[in-house]
A and B are shown apart, each in its own frame.
Chain A
Amino acid sequence: MRVRMKVDGVVYEDEVEPRTLLTHHLRDGLGRVGTPIGCDTSNCGSCTLLVDGESVKSCSVLAVQADGTEITTIQGLAEGSTWHPVQKAFQEHHGLQCGYCTPGMILAAVDLLSHNPDPTEDEVRHGLEGNLCRCTGYQNIVKSVLSAASEMRGDGPLPGSFQDAPAESHETAGASS
């Protein structure tokens, strides 16, 4: 079947098998490999992207169902070399380690913030319920999203985790305290 979709600003028209998953069409068909796959049961959220602005797990959608849509993957989120505030916040607040969950996490967060620009910590945790991360324990992801929210509301980002100056010493003298 023929499908036409705009992916990260570029229009593609291709012949696909009806059973082809959107995620495989993007990765294998279009070479847009920024969106990884982490499961086969639509549980992990690694494959999350935006279809017409709404977050979708691309492993749970057929390519043909996305015919005529406009898709944003992690590769198309930045404006040129200017990162989206959520991308920036993930680096600033150490919201990623291995980074495998990160594309999905960032796009799910973008979607969350488009519906709720001023979420509480709890709302962020529940909003990202469909995205699993095995590395971070989520705390810094939550912080990243709250910081991006603040910046996107015009209140500026939360104080960054990273210091431009050396950290203070925490040394406990082993034999003298």
Chain B
Amino acid sequence: MTEQLDAGLVAGEIAEHPDALSKPYAGGELGRGRRRKEDAKLVTGQTNWTDNITLPGLLHMTVLRSPMAHARIVSVDVSAALELPGVIAAYSGADLADVQGALPCAWPVTAEMVHPDHPPLAVDEVRYVGDGVAVVVARDRYTAVDALEAIAVEYEQLPAVVDMEAAIAEGADLVHGDKGTNTCFRWPFASGDNYAETVAAAGDDAVVVKRRFRQQRLLPTAIEPRGVVVAPIAAADEYTVYSATQIPHILRVMLALVTGIGEHKIRVIAPDVGGGFGSKLNVYAEEVLALVVAKKLGRPIKWTESRSENYQATIHGRDQIQDIEIAATRDGTLLGLKVELLADMGAYLQLITPGIPILGAFMYPAIYKMKAYDFHCTGVFTTKTPTDAYRGAGRPEATYAIERIMDELAAELGRDPMDLRKQNWIRHEEFPYDMVAGLTYDSGNYEAATEKAEQMFDLAGLRAEQERRRGDNDPMLLGIGISTFTEMCGLAPSRVLGSLSYGAGGWEAAQIRMLPTGKVEVTSGATPHGQGHHTAWSQIVADALGVPFEDVEVVTGDTDSSPKGMDTYGSRSLVVGGIAIHKATGKVLEKAKRIAAHLLEAAEGDVEFSGGTFSVKGSPEATMTIQQVALATFAAHNLPDGMEPTLDSDYVYDPENFSYPHGTHLCAVEIDSETGFTTIRKYVCVDDIGRIVNPVIVEGQVHGGIAQGIAQALYEEAVHDAEGNLTTGSLVDYLVPAAPDLPHFDTGRTETPSTSNPLGVKGVGEAGTIASTPAVMNAIHDALRPFGVRDIAMPATPERVWRALRHDDGTPRDASGTVAYGGPSTNATSGGTS
């Protein structure tokens, strides 16, 4: 046997550097808080951001944008720009009309959906402030910016359409005149028993609470703005596109479909990407324009977005009006839920714009058992920047509405809001559970997460303090907010996507390549932009193959080296991409085992694998490491008959079900009734995201998510004036929280493994964002409820809170209203008072 091994170990004789060969696997990779592999370059400034890329002869592109929300383009004259020294080219939309194609929308949610043409540069009409009308290409950045001023555009102003409800009213001005309507689609979804009948059947025993919630428009604000560089080889009609994107693989397909350039002639590279939060999950005008202009000129082109452009031309998030109605019997048992949703599409449909509210449709019932569910969504066009996926995409909106109205229902019933949740949630022994919205939740333990959170938070202690301080008429108002959320992660089973008319699948691809020296290369189609994929993937592979963590290299973000993929969004990376990798390691092991059996002269059934070593049952000295097998497959001197040399594998994994992480977030706020200023005093969360690969990365994801959810509750709002101008168009006016604006978060975990995948993982990317907005807003409403305050719009700015605490004439309201669960508060069936 030793002879056979030696025969395979030629490389060991050629190269003798001790570091070239592998050390034994130390074990315990999964669940270990590994330092991130990504960090070395990031903390030393050796990062490859798109804007860092420079190429010989590189030209800079800038985009002239519409200053009006809605106007007919009478003329665009670029001739003066072309006269400027250093300007290479300038094009209007009309100049590019026959090559620029139309930007894609991959999610036609209904067959009748109105899908307006979306040219990268507007040709006839501009429909939002920031809509592109012309491009300039110049020798350097500054000249390209200067030249924009030399372009003369004549507009004929058309009416702006800003308000969603006005937009769908009779006789409204139209965003797309030729479509005859501002309604993009209507999407009805009734599930379970009939809602109206269910409520009627309960008769006098039914309690119904209605509220209107507003999901304000948000600006995603990845700190790296977008950017694109296109390097053409004109003679071969071949293009390398570098883009600060979350989706290099999808982008490649779409660029081919939009421009007609062969998909096989386009290579897309997502270099280091500085955050996305959904805003880089799209196919943007500038990506198409840089490509068609590079093709026209045969020169490399760079476009880098400024922050002000980013706020106009990168998708916005949220912007929904939610009319929600919940019904329960007097004893608190939920009967059903009815949701009427208005969702602002903006002026055009970007990649998955119409699908965002539909993703939320399935999550309104959240973790609660009920029999009837009625959902209806209307998508509406307005003359504003298109909306699309932003941090949670539909699911945070749904969670907000249900968690807020559970508190309102509790107040109406005179119940403790946590008790009401406990009465209605799925108990851990009831999983798997078929939800009223049609999903099957595979696992969960809401009791365990909540119990732990209550302890960490000292919920009972804080409630006692609140009661005492209310009795003392303390002008600082203590409020306690609860959010027991779940989310739908791991997008997505391809069949489900198909049934929802989404234009692609939800699988993910992985490849493992065992190198001759025993090192391992892993490619993944899940492309990171800050999450730490390279570290987590290395841990999964190290654990499965029994190789050292350091010996694994992960390759992502380049359609040449990781050609297949569906990219990163929807908390899918670990749950779909990670499982693809895990399955690919299984294929490697399967092949390696056959080879090991062959070389160890044992029956395959007698060969065992553990910690990176194959051994033969009953003969302890007959062993072989996986690295030795890799080398043997490379030398290929002695393989089983018919076996292919080398030790690689490919796996494309299509999930069978979603995963359902959940958790309990508790927030205590102190509100100064004199100023309306809210301070978060304590924030505790216990998340159950199933099995953990790297707890430190998980905690970081939770922190960042909570921060963005708090930002929605307290700080951020994209505001448009009546003419459709974005009045929060820069970081001066749009309040992204800085370090002093956010509290310390106490995080905890429970682990209820998912039963939908072999690693038991569930995904964590959006948990914090989804849970924290309602936790904070419930805390604020809890503090204000004795004053009869029923709904404060987000963000709950000091001004809004201050006003809510006063009558219209400015005199303070008193706290004579009943306390949170001392009895029914106000008339439950009318809308809010924001």
Contact surface of A with B, Cβ cutoff 8 Å: 17, 19-20, 24, 27-28, 31, 33-41, 43-44, 46, 73-75, 77-78, 83, 87, 90-92, 94, 96-103, 106, 121-122, 124-126, 128-142, 161-163, 165-167, 169-175, 177
* Residues of chain A contacted by B33 (CB below 8 angstroms): 161-163, 167
- The residues of B that contact A78 with a CB separation of less than 8 Å are 44
Measured CA separation A128–B738 after assembly (Å): 8
Q: Are A98 and B224 in contact (CB under 8 A)?
A: yes
B43 near A100 with CB under 8 A, answer: no
Which residues of chain A are near B753, meaning CB under 8 Å?
171, 174
Neighbour of B428 across the interface among A106, A132, A169, A177, CB < 8 A: A177
Q: Of A134, A170, A177, which contacts B277 at CB under 8 A?
A: A134
On whether A75 and B46 interact (CB within 8 A), knowing A133-B223, A162-B34, the answer reads yes
Q: How far is the CB of B44 from chain A (nearest CB, A)?
A: 6
Query: Could you tell me which residues of chain B, from 1 to 56, have a CB within 8 Å of some CB in chain A?
Result: 27-36, 38-47, 49, 51-52, 54
Say yes or no: A175-B431 contact (C-beta < 8 A), given A97-B704, A135-B530, A169-B31: yes
Contacts of B275 in A (CB 8 A): 97-98, 100, 134-135
- Report the separation of the CA atoms of residues A34 and B93 in the bound assembly, to the nearest whole angstrom: 36
A45 to B42, CA, bound (A): 16
CB-based contact B35/A91 at 8 Å? yes
CB-CB < 8 A to B755: which residues of A?
A: 174
Contact with A along B692-710 (1 / 0, CB 8 A): 1001110111011111100
Interface members, chain B 717-760 (any A CB < 8 Å) = 730-732, 736, 738-740, 742, 744-745, 749-753, 755
B493 to chain A, nearest CB (A): 21
Within 8 A of A (CB), among B432-469: 443-445, 447-449
How far is the CB of A142 from the nearest CB of chain B, in Å? 7
Whether A36 pairs with B274 at a CB distance below 8 angstroms is yes
Min CB–CB distance B253 → chain A (angstroms): 25
A169 to B31: give the CA distance in the assembly, Å: 8
A134–B444 touching, CB < 8 Å: no
What residue in chain B is nearest A177 (Cβ atoms)?
Answer: B448
A128-B32 in contact (CB<8A): no
Inter-subunit contact B42/A174 (CB<8 Å): no
CB distance from A122 to the nearest CB of B (A): 8
Q: A98 contacts which of B431, B529, B691, B752 (Cβ < 8 Å)?
A: B529
The chain A residue sitting closest to B306, CB to CB, is: A40
The residue in chain A whose Cβ has the minimal distance to the Cβ of B53 is A33
Flag if A33 contacts B749 (CB, 8 Å).
no
Q: Contact between B738 and A39 (Cβ–Cβ < 8 Å)?
A: no
**Which of A90, A126, A135 has the largest count of B CB atoms less than 10 A from its CB?**
A135
Q: Indicate which residue in B31, B34, B530, B706 contacts A99 across the interface (CB closer than 8 Å).
A: B530
Q: Which residue of B lies closest to A163 (CB)?
A: B33
Residues of A within 8 A of B47 (CB): 34, 36, 99
Q: Is the CB of B742 within 8 A of A137?
A: yes
Between A and B, 14 residue pairs with Cβ closer than 8 Å are: A24-B141, A34-B45, A40-B730, A41-B731, A43-B732, A74-B45, A98-B273, A98-B274, A98-B530, A125-B740, A132-B738, A139-B745, A166-B31, A172-B751
* Residue B102 CB within 8 A of the other chain: no
Question: Which one of B49, B449, B700, B732 contacts A97 once the chains associate, using CB atoms below 8 Å?
Answer: B700
Distance from B450 Cβ to chain A, minimum over Cβ atoms (Å): 11
The answer on a CB contact under 8 Å between B703 and A134 is no
Contact A17 B445 (CB under 8 A): no
Decide yes or no whether B336 CB sits under 8 A from chain A: no
Taking a contact as CB atoms under 8 Å apart, the answer to whether B42 and A37 are in contact is: no
Nearest B-chain residue to A102, judged by Cβ? B42
Q: A28-B140, A87-B44, A125-B739 are in contact. Are A174 and B39 (CB under 8 A)?
A: no
Give the residue of A100, A163, A167 whose beta carbon is less than 8 angstroms from that of B223: A100
Bound-state Cα–Cα, A134 to B701, Å: 11
Q: Which residues of A contact B531 (CB under 8 A)?
A: 97
Residue of B nearest to A132 (CB): B736
Contacts of B142 in A (CB 8 A): 17, 19-20, 24
The complex places the Cα of A103 from the Cα of B768 at a distance, in Å, of 25
Report B793 CB to chain A, min CB distance, Å. Answer: 23
Query: Would you call A38 and B45 a contact (CB within 8 A)?
Result: no
Given contacts A87-B44, A91-B39, A138-B742, contact A167 B32 (CB under 8 A): yes
Residues of A within 8 A of B701 (CB): 97
Q: Which interface residue of B40, B51, B701, B738 has the most chain A CB atoms within 10 A?
A: B738
Task: List 5 other contacts, CB 8 Å, given A75-B46, A134-B736, A135-B223.
Answer: A137-B768, A162-B34, A162-B35, A169-B31, A175-B431
Contact in complex: B45, A103 (CB < 8 Å): yes
Q: Which of B786-825 contact A (CB under 8 A)?
A: none
Residues of B whose CB lies within 8 Å of any CB of A are 27-36, 38-47, 49, 51-52, 54, 140-142, 221-225, 272-275, 277, 306-308, 428-429, 431, 443-445, 447-449, 529-532, 688, 691-692, 695-697, 699-701, 703-708, 730-732, 736, 738-740, 742, 744-745, 749-753, 755, 768
Tell me whether A174 and B752 are in contact (CB under 8 A). yes
Given contacts A94-B697, A129-B738, contact A134 B428 (CB under 8 A): no
Q: When the two chains form the complex, which single residue of B27, B29, B51 contacts A37, counting CB atoms closer than 8 Å?
A: B51
Query: Contact: A175 with B731, CB < 8 Å?
Result: no
In this complex, what residue of B is CB-closest to A136?
B704
A107 to B30, CA, bound (A): 34
- Nearest CB of B to A133, in Å: 7
Nearest residue in A to B27 (C-beta to C-beta)?
A166
Known: A78-B44, A172-B752. A99 touches B703 (CB 8 A): no
Chain B hits for A100, CB < 8 A:
49, 222-224, 274-275, 530
Are B223 and A137 in touch, CB under 8 angstroms? no
- The answer on a CB contact under 8 Å between B43 and A129 is no
CB pair B429–A167 under 8 Å, yes or no, is no
Candidate in A17, A27, A41, A98 with the most chain B CB atoms within 10 angstroms: A98
Point out the residues of chain B lying under 8 angstroms from A98, CB to CB: 222-224, 272-275, 529-530
Q: Is the CB of A40 within 8 A of B307?
A: yes
Expressed in whole angstroms, the Cα–Cα distance for A25 and B279 within the complex equals 29
List of B residues within 8 angstroms of A172 by Cβ: 445, 448-449, 688, 750-752
Choose among B695, B706, B739 the residue that contacts A124 (Cβ–Cβ < 8 A). B739
Contact of B42 among A75, A96, A129 (CB under 8 A): A96
CA distance A122 to B740 in the complex (A): 7
Q: A40-B730, A99-B274, A167-B32 are in contact. Are A74 and B445 (CB under 8 A)?
A: no
CA distance A88 to B7 in the complex (A): 45
Tell me the minimal C-beta distance from B232 to chain A in angstroms: 22
| Residue from B39, B222, B277 within 8 A of A96 (CB atoms) | B39
Distance in Å from the Cβ of A30 to the closest Cβ of chain B?
Answer: 12
Contacts of A27 in B (CB 8 A): 51-52
Cα(A27)–Cα(B51), bound, Å: 9
Provide the residues of chain B in CB contact with A40, threshold 8 Å. Answer: 306-308, 730
Residues of B near A34 (CB, < 8 A) are 44-47
A75, A94, A130, A141: residue with the most chain B Cβ atoms closer than 10 Å: A94
* Assembly CA distance A125 to B741 (angstroms): 9
Q: B699 near A94 (CB under 8 angstroms)?
A: yes
